[in-house]
Amino acid sequence: MRMDASQLPSGRDALPYFPRSRYAVFFGLAIAGCTADLLTKHWCFSTPALRAGNICWLWTGHVGIQLSLNEGALFGMGQGNVRLFAAFAFLAAIGIPVWLFLFRAARDGWLTAALGCVMAGVLGNLHDRLGLHHEIWPEGSPRAGQPVYAVRDWVLWQLNDQWVWPNFNIADSLLVIGACLLFLHAVACKRGQDSFSQN
Question: Catalytic amino acids?
Answer: 153, 172
3-state secondary structure 43-63: HHHCCHHHHCCCCEEEECCCE
Q: Which of 131, 40, 120 minimizes the C-alpha distance to 82?
A: 131
Please provide the size of the chain in residues: 199
Burial class (CB in 10 A: 0-12, 13-18, 19+), 159: exposed
Confirm if 106 and 22 have CB atoms less than 8 A apart.
Answer: yes
Residue 14, φ and ψ in degrees, nearest 5: -80, -10
Q: Tell me the β-bridge partners of 155.
A: 65, 168
Residue type, 52: A
Burial class (CB in 10 A: 0-12, 13-18, 19+), 157: middle
Confirm if 125 and 154 have CB atoms less than 8 A apart.
Answer: no
